[in-house]
Structure 1
Amino acid sequence: MSKSQFQMSENVRELRSKVRNFIEKEVIPVENVIVEGGEEGTRVLKEVQKLAKKEGIWALGLPKDVGGGGLPFMDYVYVNEIVGRSEAAMVALGTHTAQDGTMLNLYGTEEQKKKWLYPLVDGEINPSVGLTEPNIAGSDPTLIESTAVLDGDEWVINAHKWFTTGANKAAFTTMFCVTEPDEEQRHKRSSMIVVPTDTPGYEIVRVVPTMGHAGGNHCEIRLTNVRVPKENILGNRGEGFLIAQKRLGPGRIYHSMRWLGQAQRAFDLMCERALNRYAHGSLLSDKQMIQKFIADSATEIQAARLMTFEAAIKIDEGSEARVDIAMIKVYGAEVLHNVVDRAIQVHGALGVTADTPLEKMYREARYARIYDGPDEVHTASIAKRILRSYKNGEFWDPANF
């Protein structure tokens, strides 16, 4: 891969700088208010979103013809690294709708786009996706038990999902349901169906407390004989896995870039702390153990960045890049965890308090090893695909695999 493929254009560098300045000035000072939500959080969020639109940095990764910024995929990848610096920045800049917006744009009818995509991109409504179920292994979605049966002109849906993130604030949930139970190929049994959250029979059972935090938005939902028009299906019957993969592939690139933004912010905090904290006769920055923390963190961040860039370039060129994506999903989550962990250690007791963003970052880093597929599944996928090439008398070529 040539050096030029990892170089950003001057326009992208300027845009990254503009986005970073906006996040540092407008988002980070109010990120806790936004994340906590409520009336005040909603008011502040709307103000920041209005400023982002005025600055021309709103929904950058979505096409202009649906109301987005029209940024090419690779340019958006580079910008997403900056967006990752703040948990609230995704919503503040309208990038939280990129995966759902892309899914609707690729597979939605014009009527579906009018009803959900355009308001979604504009920030008027929020999305959610119902994939994971509490009674089956989320890493194997061929086991899902949710069903949708066509009755005349309506789908009748019965489902029990959890970790349907944002369902308590969403206008709709795109439900992953079995519609073709007799299909021999398990990956062709499911479909994606859009369900408005105000539909009778749609119940938010609870917001699931996670890792000592009860105020998140990971919801457990139950749908009992929920009826929606048959036109609410995305794409064709049995294309649920195809659509989900189109959503998750680029989504894992976005995740990895945001993780890099989080890791970089934790790294910044660690370096600043090391240069200002005095203990045992010298600054922390003078101690070899702390220097090791800093050197290891910088090395891991850069390695993860280059791996992510290469995977993104392959996707941009039309490759599925399955091995590359699995690698960055596993390694990127590990790097985020490592860097945040070291930053907390350098901060001492302060690091585990809410006085810095580190303790929240640490929780998010632990989640990262599970959502969008646990490490173990991705690790097995990497090995299987590489070994398959050797069985076929070939070898693993990192540049082309």
Structure 2
Amino acid sequence: MDFTLSPRLEDLRQRVSAFVADEVLPLEADSASYDDHENIRPDLLQELQAKVKQAGLWAPQMSRARGGLGCSVAEMAVLYETMGRSIFGPVCFNAAAPDDGNMMVLEKVGTDAQKQRWLQPIVDGEVRSAFAMTEPSPGAGSDPSLMRTTAEKRGDHWVVHGRKWFITGAGVAEHFILIARTSDDTRKGLSAFMFERDRPGWEIVRRIPIMGPEEHGGHCELAFDGLEIPDENRLLNVGDGLKVTQIRLGTARLTHCMRWLGMAKRALEIARDYAGERESFGEKLADHEGVQWLLGEAAMEVEVGRLLTMKAALALDAGSFARKEVSMAKIQVAETLHKAVDTALQICGARGYSKDTPLEWMYRYARQARLVDGASEVHKMVLARHLMQEGQDFWGWRSG
């Protein structure tokens, strides 16, 4: 693997890095920059997004024809990590979940008319979006075969009944992608649809309170009681809902890893600076062997996560679904994020536990990483299945 960045990508990386340092990071230290849910205040976000567009750094995952940067997945890994240095960073560049994953799947599977109506407004930053799949027990979570929300065909419309929850961004979303059951077929029983916020027949039951700071629009519980969706708003064919989900989640899981790596590096940056200046028992914290072990191990785990993320990104760019590569990256980076932030908080002591640094924000945020888009245990099951099927080929080299 050649990790040399092209001149264009290195230029973009430096420009993104400078923007984050100059325009975004200073806002984190001001309590007035936050909304009621501990994310960046919407009016500030709009100002920063306008500056990002003016700087030519908007939507790296989208084609240039759509107003993006036209980056490959591997190039996205470099830029997303750089944006992730700030807790506010990714959303400023229109590179945050769930819009990020929704844009990518609509670009891949939508018709031209669907892309113009549903995708382009998200790319342009005119609307936010959500992906409605997860359900309360006994409905679908990591196992989509348990889907209980139904869509029944009536003429040229589909009528939806059911319930979803922990739908990220639903509180502010205007465009929704919905996965619902359309038959009892075990493989082709799910279908994907799009609907707009103002359609009758559904409601947001509540914005679910969570331990950590929230994404814009929160994590909501939705109820569907006769929502009608025109058949023209169906993605792909009837029965292709699982396919749509797999296409979306592969790259979306990896973009989580990219952003989390930036956050993990930032946490260690804060710890490094503190350890280099704080004295204890006659020497700097950084000179204590125990602190060195903590920093060194966490730094190594971050680098392992970067390597696995880039390997998965290159596999996706080569046309693979990269299921085991993405699962390995997801496990490693999710666990590493929590470890890096915990290490930084431990080194910074009471200062890290306070709101004088963003570490306590990161700590609460990081715990969800081992749950979202598939718990670590589910991804380990994926890896075990690949190992049982592939044997020694599990570790095979990809040849040209």
Aligned to 2:131: 129
Aligned partner letter, 1:13: E
- 1:30 offset after TM fit, Å? 2.5
Aligned to 1:168: 171
TM-aligned CA distance change 1:309 to 1:195, over 3 Å: same
Specify which of 101, 113, 116 is matched with residue 115 of structure 2: 113
CA distance in 1, matches of 2:17, 2:140: 38
Alignment TM-score, normalising by the size of structure 1: 0.93
CA distance in 2, matches of 1:91, 1:308: 20
Alpha carbons 1:259, 1:336 under 8 Å: kept: yes
Alpha carbons 2:353, 2:360 under 8 Å: kept: yes
Aligned partner letter, 1:338: K
TM-aligned CA distance change 1:233 to 1:300, over 3 Å: same
Aligned pair 1:9/2:6, yes or no? Answer: yes
Alpha carbons 1:67, 1:118 under 8 Å: kept: no
Alpha carbons 1:34, 1:42 under 8 Å: kept: no
- 1:276 offset after TM fit, Å? 1.4
CA distance in 1, matches of 2:57, 2:369: 26
Aligned partner letter, 2:93: L
In the alignment of these two chains, the number of paired residues is 392
Alpha carbons 2:213, 2:365 under 8 Å: kept: no
- Could you list the per-position Cα deviations for residues 200-255 of structure 1 after superposition, in whole angstroms to 9, with x for gaps in the alignment? 12211111111166897111111111112111111111111111111111112211
Aligned to 2:207: 207
Mapping for residues 361-376 of structure 1, pairs under 5 Å: 361-376=362-377
CA distance in 2, matches of 1:313, 1:215: 28
> What secondary structure does 2:187 align onto?
helix
CA distance in 2, matches of 1:304, 1:26: 27
- 1:180 offset after TM fit, Å? 2.1
Aligned to 1:387: 388
Aligned to 1:278: 279
- Could you list the per-position Cα deviations for residues 22-69 of structure 1 after superposition, in whole angstroms to 9, with x for gaps in the alignment? 01111222356565269x922211111110001000011101222222
Mapping for residues 70-81 of structure 1, pairs under 5 Å: 70-81=70-81
Alpha carbons 1:59, 1:68 under 8 Å: kept: yes
CA distance in 1, matches of 2:224, 2:87: 30
- 1:73 offset after TM fit, Å? 2.6
TM-aligned CA distance change 1:316 to 1:348, over 3 Å: same
CA distance in 2, matches of 1:285, 1:256: 28
Extract unaligned runs of 5+ from structure 1: none
CA distance in 2, matches of 1:70, 1:137: 34
Aligned to 1:251: 252
Extract unaligned runs of 5+ from structure 2: none
Q: CA RMSD in A?
A: 2.0
Aligned partner letter, 2:260: W
- Could you list the per-position Cα deviations for residues 377-399 of structure 1 after superposition, in whole angstroms to 9, with x for gaps in the alignment? 11011012112123xxx543242
Aligned to 1:232: 233
- 1:113 offset after TM fit, Å? 1.9
Alpha carbons 2:48, 2:92 under 8 Å: kept: yes
- 1:320 offset after TM fit, Å? 2.0
- Could you list the per-position Cα deviations for residues 137-157 of structure 1 after superposition, in whole angstroms to 9, with x for gaps in the alignment? 511011010011111121111
